[in-house]
Every structure is written in C-alpha cells, then in structure tokens.
Structure 1
Amino acid sequence: MTKVHPTAIVDAAAKLGEDVEIGPFCIVGPDVTLEARVRLLSHVVVDGVTTIGEDTVVHAFSALGGPPQHLGYKGERTQLVIGPRNTIREQVTMNTGTASGRGVTTIGADGFFMAEAHVAHDCTVGDNVVLAKGATLGGHVDVGNFVFVGGLAAIHQFSRVGRYSFIGGLAAVTKDVIPYGSVWGNHAHLEGLNLVGLKRRGFSRETINALRAAYRLMFADEGTFQERLDDVVETYSATPEVMEIVDFIRADGNRPLCLPEREV
C-alpha cells in the first residue's frame, strides 16, 4: 500500500514501512528508514542514516538527516532518529550527530515542530516537545519531555532544558533551565515556574503549591545557594517534582543555571 509520487526520487536501498506515502518532488536517500504510515507531503529531503518513526507527517521543504553543521565533521556515519507520531512543519531542519559527540541526534515521540525550527547535531529531544516557528537548538542540547520553546527562541549548545519548562519567544538561552521553570529574555532569565503548563498537564494543586514554596526558598536572598538547596531537600524530599529540580541542578555543576533577575 506504499504510495510514491512519480516525481519523487527514492533510493532503492531505502527501507519503507507499510502504508508510507511519499509526495511529489521528495528525495529519500539509501540509508533512510521510513516506518509505517510515515507521510512526506512534498519537496521533502530525507538523507543520511535517518529513521523516521511511524505515523510522523513531514511537510514541504523540510530537510532531515543532513550532515551536522560542524567544522570538525569529516563525513563520519552518524545518525538521526525521529520517534513516532511527530508533526514536522514546513522548512524544518534536523541534522545527524557528530563522531566527537553522541553520534546521533534523537527526537522523541508526539512532538510538534513548527515552520523553520532547527535541531542541530547531537541533540536529545524528549516526548511531547513543541518548537514554535523558528525556534533553534544548538548542538548537544538536551530537552526534556513536555517542553515548549517559543517562536524564534535559541538555545545555546550543550544547554539542558528540564521537563515541563517553558521558553519564551525570542529568548536567548545560554544557561540551563530547571524542570518546570519558565524563562524569557535576552539573555534568558528565570521568571518563575511554568504554572500554566503544569495546570494544563494535570499536576495537582498540592504538587504545584509545593513547587512554588520550594522555588521561593531555593531562590531567596538569604544564605548561600547551596544552603538554600540543602534546606529544600530537607523540607521537600517527599515531593518527587521538587527533588527532580534539585537532582537536575546537582547533575552538572559545571553548567551555569538560569536564575531570577535581581532587582537593582
């Protein structure tokens, strides 16, 4: 039941699952795997060692699996793996990994990548992530599940973005974003918690209240940051979401963290 438009160019070595649809003027390379019911609508280029998960829809002029935009890349066989049920809109670009990095760029399931979004080499993007129009991930960025990245926002290479966080439109993010956080600005600073997103995702009032109280304690003016972090652990160790923030902060002490702006 696979349908390939007569104007499309599909390498004979490409692996096509059941009920795949390839529209007009698409190009599919020899190391590409399109799983069941993938749809390439038109003018889509899928190259490199690339796998696109089942039920993913790719819109016109997207380029997936191109080589990493990295001066050290020497043609190594690296990969792009896209999970199931993603929607990839017009002119989205996603590159393969680098040999000096992970070797693979990974996209989770059920994502929505709006027009002109870009995912660079060696990124790891979780499930249910939204990249609004023009949003950009630099190389080696880790994005957790249920993150929303606003239009034209850019996330600096090697940054980490925790689960359920919100990146405001036009934000320039050069530091790590805690889980459940909400950041915006140039450069981005922490504005609080992503309360709208937490409510939409069904977090309980008790959990949200605990997160808010822990946030206030963590970013208070009194004491050192390490002292406040220890106080949060002592007070909220029974709240997994709070401890997720603490673990996120402690996981990489070499990375700078998006913090609230201090009033002058």
Structure 2
Amino acid sequence: MSKIHPTAIISPGAQLDSSVTVGPYSVIGPHVRIDAGTTVASHCVIEGHTTIGRDNRIFQFSSLGAVPQDKKYTNEPCELTIGDRNTIREFCTFNIGSPGDRAVTSVGNDNWIMAYVHLAHDCAVGNHTIFANNTQLAGHVVVDDWVILGGFTVVHQFCRIGAHSFTAMNSLLFGDLPPFVMAQGQPAQARSMNFEGLRRRGFSAERIAAVKAMHKALYRDGLSLADAMARIASLTEKTPEATPDVKMMLDFLSTTSPQRGIVR
C-alpha cells in the first residue's frame, strides 16, 4: 500500500494489486478491481463495477465507471472493463453499460486514448486503436482493431467502425465505416483507403492491391452494395492471401443495418 498516496480515498471493498500506484486525491469505489502495474494519477474517480487490467496509465482528472447518461438506467450493476497496456489521457470519461444492451462498456488492449475522449454506455473498443483529443462516442458504438479516429470525431449511437479504418479531424459519422476506409467530413464521406496504415502494419503489396480493388468496387464503379460485395468476394480467386481481408469486409457489410447504411 506504499504506492497509494495518503490523500487518495480507496474503498475497503476495492481490489488493487500491491503494485498499483494511485496519486493524490483520487477516489476508487468499492466494486473496482485494478491489476498489476497500472498507474492512476491524481484527481481521478474510478467507480461502478469497473475492472482494469495490467500496466495501464490513467492520467489525471479521468472519470471511469460512472453511471450511463441514459434516463432508462435505474442503478443496475452494469460494468466497465478495460484491458491491458492502455494509455488514457486527461479528462477522459468512460461510462458503464446499460441494461438495454450488453450491460458492459469494454476497452481492449494497447489502445492510445487522448484527452477529453468520451465513451458512452455499451461501447466496445478493440485493440491497438488511437483516439485523438475530443473523440466522442455515443452509446452502443463498436470500434474494431487498429482504428484511428482524428481529433473531434463524433460518432452517432449504434454505429460500427471497421478494422484499420481512419477518420480525419472533425469527422461526423452517422453510418457504419467499413474496414480500411478513410473518411472525412460532416457528415463523413469515404475519401480513400488507409493504405499507409496497412503498409506500417506489414500488409503485402498483394493484400494492399486487394484493398484498393475493394475501394473501387464500393465507391468508384457505381455498383449497388450487393454487386460490390459479389465483386469483392471474387478477389480471393486472384489473391488468396487476401482471404481474411475479404472475409472481414464481407462480414462487416453483410451485418450493416439497412436503415443506417455505410459511410459513402
């Protein structure tokens, strides 16, 4: 307990590994669990049924595990779960889930979350994402792995954001953003594919060529969504190594709500 500042208020029911550091004036509630190596800076509030994994860095003035901003919520024991090795910068607000959905707001591993980011109830964030300052996610948003959201990106409730996609600063998402797509605007429109990000992650030239072909089918050739999906499915014949990428795109498109649609 020598790593707990004497001005911090830790509930007797909280479960903190002996290696956890808690800074001055932070408050940790009775249903919180924090695993080894995590650092909580000063003036943080961690409450609710919140589980935080190993080696996270939580900066000052963050609020994690507060009740959802949902008028239907009536003190159900919903949860917030945060994985390992995440960086959570100043003034972030992550709410617990709500009983109308999964009842869990979740954050995976190795995410870089900058200042003033808001995750509303029942959001599900994957791994290796980057959320720049003031990214705001409404309730029930799903963000897959390796997504980068530019500063002041705002995402409408129930939207999904596919793996390896990217938004420019001040983007406003009202629809699902498919994997690999770069979007910009208010409302956001598809501009290109995240080719530089794929190169940095070791995608081969052949796989990147397949992603270019997906972009052409979805956005350049005036095809219906069904016809675009059929063309995308055929890409595996020419480029077998792109089969996981094609499957990911088709799975995403096939589960998009017709009412919401994809970012065009």
TM norm structure 2? 0.94
Mapping for residues 213-224 of structure 1, pairs under 5 Å: 213-224=213-224
Deviation at 1:116, TM superposition (A): 0.4
Which residue matches 1:244? 248
8 Å contact 2:153–2:169 — kept in the other structure? yes
Q: Deviations over 1:18-70 (max 9, x none)?
A: 31111100000000001111111100100000011110011110000000011
1:219 is paired with a residue of what secondary structure? helix
Q: In the aligned structure 1, how far is the partner of 2:229 from the partner of 2:235?
A: 10
1:241 is paired with a residue of what secondary structure? helix
Q: In the aligned structure 2, how far is the partner of 1:41 from the partner of 1:222?
A: 52
How many aligned residue pairs are there?
259
8 Å contact 1:119–1:137 — kept in the other structure? yes
Which one is further off, 243-252 or 156-165? 243-252
Which residue matches 2:235? 235
Q: In the aligned structure 2, how far is the partner of 1:57 from the partner of 1:64?
A: 13
Which residue matches 2:226? 226
Distance 1:95 1:249, change over 3 A: same
Distance 1:253 1:157, change over 3 A: closer
Q: In the aligned structure 1, how far is the partner of 2:232 from the partner of 2:56?
A: 41
**Runs of 4 or more consecutive aligned structure 1 residues displaced over 6 Å after TM superposition:** none
Deviation at 1:223, TM superposition (A): 4.5
8 Å contact 1:43–1:60 — kept in the other structure? yes
Deviation at 1:222, TM superposition (A): 4.5
Which residue matches 1:31? 31
8 Å contact 1:219–1:225 — kept in the other structure? no
TM norm structure 1? 0.94
Matched-pair identity in %: 37
Distance 1:40 1:222, change over 3 A: closer
AA paired with 1:195?
F
8 Å contact 1:9–1:26 — kept in the other structure? yes
Which residue matches 1:262? none
Distance 1:40 1:198, change over 3 A: same
